[in-house]
Structure 1
Amino acid sequence: MTDHTMDALEVSFETQALGGPVVRPMLAGGGGGVSAGGGFEGFLRSGASVEMKAFTGVTGDAGGYAIPQEIDSVIDATLKAISPMRAICNVVRVGSAGYRKLVTTGGTPSGWAAETDARPGTATPVFTEIAPPMGELYANPSASQAMLDDAAFDVEAWLANEIALEFAKAEGSAFITGSGVSRPKGFLQATIAATTDATRAFGTLQYLASGAAGDFPTTPQDRLIDLVQALRAPYRQGAVFLMNATTLARIRKFKTSDGQFLWSPSLTGATPGTLLGYPVIESEDMPDIAANSLSIAFGNFKAGYLIAERRETAILRDPYTNKPFVNFYATKRIGGCVSNSEAIKLMKFAVS
């Protein structure tokens, strides 16, 4: 071996040790005699070729797994009809479940006297105690830890929002039709009578008959006006109509004898339309028009219905009780009842 050959080998080893290019044997057919189109020329001469499988996203093992799937991080959901009762009623925060409220009935009697006449004693006010029935609203959904870690959206925030919407729907229904057993007592569950405020017992709501069994009479505007005027003037300041969308759809078609609509549409979406000058609030928890149904309420709900809540919705994240699932235990203690039976009037769809 000549000195030049030894020098070349030393340079080659040094180059490899320093991380340089590695000298490898030349591939067969890679000699300098092959033209630039040697691969295609070899195929033409011998018919030989290297078998290649195409990558495609159609099937998973042929490349589909390598294509990332994009998922919308915002979850669309059907909107629940949330009751507006909390917005129109009197809401108070309480420190315990034993909340009580005192209401005076009849006011303080007084009398007239001349300058030198004797002043006999007058009667004292009468107190009535109101105790809204309380109940605890709860939800206890769960999600696996893997779901929380790997989901493309914020599962915890989504669950919290779902719970809040469901609680709002459940409590709104209870404020209208609740039985009062381990839940608020709805105003439609109160005792009703056709007598006026002067003769009706406290806690009993007054109703006005529509004049037709399960329907409006031939002149519905007359009965609606009677319903408004049955509410005394002090309560009409801030009064609203409450009904569901089906009932409102019928009322919006009513016209007076001169062709004017009873309904006045709102100029903006932020304010409700009016009926006989009073706002109309929609609540899907109000019943449809049927025989003896109480489908329309009119009144000052700030004065007439009391909502007492212990606190806001509390959500406890529990990753220990049911591993590998994480429980989201949500609770809310809330009560409600009629606080002033003179401030709410009902329309009963009956002859009398």
Structure 2
Amino acid sequence: MSETVVARPVLDGARAAAADAAFDGFVRTGAAIEMKAFTGVSGDQGGYAIPREIDQQIDAVLKSASPIRSIANVVQVGSAGYRKLVTTGGTPSGWAGETDARPVTGTSTFVEIAPPMGELYANPSASQAMLDDAQFDVEAWLAGEIAAEFAKAEGAAFVGGNGTNRPRGFLQAPTAATADATRAFGTLQYLASGAAGDFAANGADRLIDLVQALRAPYRQGAAFVMNASTAARIRKFKTSDGQFLWQPSLVSGQAATLLGYPVVEAEDMPDIAANSLSIAFGNFRAGYLIAERSETSILRDPYSNKPFVTFYATKRVGGCVTNSEAIKLMKFAAS
């Protein structure tokens, strides 16, 4: 029995494509063949496959940290309370002949110094996925940010802290224009600049008076403290023969000098204004005490607030003026 072959029409999709098939299809049905290329311009054409690059070194706006810690007396304490005894007046003495009686001389007077202390803390969090997937070391970055912020906060407190749950800055100490012999202990002496909110015509002479107001034993190791704006004013002072009072440092890392004493720039010092205490001169190692419980401690806590990891950082530090004769201030006032 012979098999009957039924001729069927060839399906349109199986038909051999002609050279002008694209044009023919467009003419017949309006369809066009879409041509695609891999590019990184849009995500669905290959952009998703291109990894995003991130600089592993995170830049940050630099925060100025006060350098008071580097020139003050820093002590490590083992408890929250710290006391320091300071003698005032010295031990009186007297002269006597070989056979003269030796009457009893006076004794020293003690003053107890207790620097106010406070606790700096920070408590930032990051998700575990962020810590796992970030292109930089998030934990190290957070630790560095906390340390920089702590340095800035404590530096501001050493200059102007009010002593409530923080150090008491040396600018918060009582001030008076009287000399050491008649001024109450704990009160800093100020010298007037000669004009309200400005230097008088003889500004260089006022700076010399400020230096000489500090007694000789304290001038060994003394330094000027001011901010950059005040330093810019003083750098322009000249002597009568045209020489600058300010001597820039010729060695990298060494402070410039003014009247032979190093200048420490502390941005927490106030700008020159009416009645402002914008310049300090003194032996801060003898005059200002910083007491700290320990170095900054950071606790990594992945349990309390899952899925976040919390970094709890603390630092306990205090400070106050210990010897009010060792620091002098310049007040920008007429008197």
Q: What SS does structure 2 have at the residue aligned with 1:327?
A: strand
Structure-2 residue corresponding to 1:260: 243
Q: What SS does structure 2 have at the residue aligned with 1:196?
A: coil
Q: Give the alignment's Cα RMSD to 1 decimal.
A: 1.5
Name the CA distance, whole Å, in 2 between partners of 1:46 and 1:153. Answer: 55
Aligned-pair distance for 1:46? 2.6
Structure-2 residue corresponding to 1:65: 48
**TM-score computed with the length of structure 1 as normaliser:** 0.86
Give ranges in structure 2 of 5+ residues lacking alignment: 1-13, 23-32
Query: Is residue 290 from structure 1 mapped to residue 273 from structure 2 by the alignment?
Result: yes
1:242-280 Cα offsets, whole Å, 9 max, x none, are: 000000000001111111111001002210110000000
Structure 2 residue identity aligned to 1:225: I
Structure-1 residue corresponding to 2:5: none
Query: Is residue 47 from structure 1 mapped to residue 20 from structure 2 by the alignment?
Result: yes
Structure-1 residue corresponding to 2:104: 121
Identity of aligned residues (%): 79
Name the CA distance, whole Å, in 2 between partners of 1:121 and 1:290. Answer: 52
Name the CA distance, whole Å, in 1 between partners of 2:21 and 2:200. Answer: 94
1:119-175 Cα offsets, whole Å, 9 max, x none, are: 111111111100000101001111111110100000000000000000000000000
Query: Is residue 105 from structure 1 mapped to residue 78 from structure 2 by the alignment?
Result: no
Structure-to-structure mapping, 1:159-238, within 5 angstroms: 159-238=142-221
Name the CA distance, whole Å, in 1 between partners of 2:180 and 2:19. Answer: 109
1:308-336 Cα offsets, whole Å, 9 max, x none, are: 00011111111111111111110111000
Q: What SS does structure 2 have at the residue aligned with 1:61?
A: helix
**TM-score computed with the length of structure 2 as normaliser:** 0.91
Choose from 253, 257, 261 the match for 1:278. Answer: 261
Structure of larger gyration radius: 1
Give ranges in structure 1 of 5+ residues lacking alignment: 1-27, 30-41
Structure-2 residue corresponding to 1:16: none
Name the CA distance, whole Å, in 1 between partners of 2:97 and 2:242. Answer: 57
Name the CA distance, whole Å, in 1 between partners of 2:326 and 2:306. Answer: 52
- Poorly superposed stretches of 4+, deviation over 3 Å: 48-52
Name the CA distance, whole Å, in 2 between partners of 1:313 and 1:48. Answer: 76
Structure 1 residue identity aligned to 2:20: G
Size of the aligned set, in residue pairs, is: 312
Structure-1 residue corresponding to 2:333: 350
Name the CA distance, whole Å, in 2 between partners of 1:89 and 1:206. Answer: 19
1:36-64 Cα offsets, whole Å, 9 max, x none, are: xxxxxx98x63347864211010011001
Name the CA distance, whole Å, in 2 between partners of 1:99 and 1:81. Answer: 29
Structure-2 residue corresponding to 1:20: none
Structure 2 residue identity aligned to 1:206: Q
Query: Is residue 248 from structure 1 mapped to residue 221 from structure 2 by the alignment?
Result: no
Name the CA distance, whole Å, in 1 between partners of 2:261 and 2:87. Answer: 28
Name the CA distance, whole Å, in 1 between partners of 2:134 and 2:301. Answer: 19
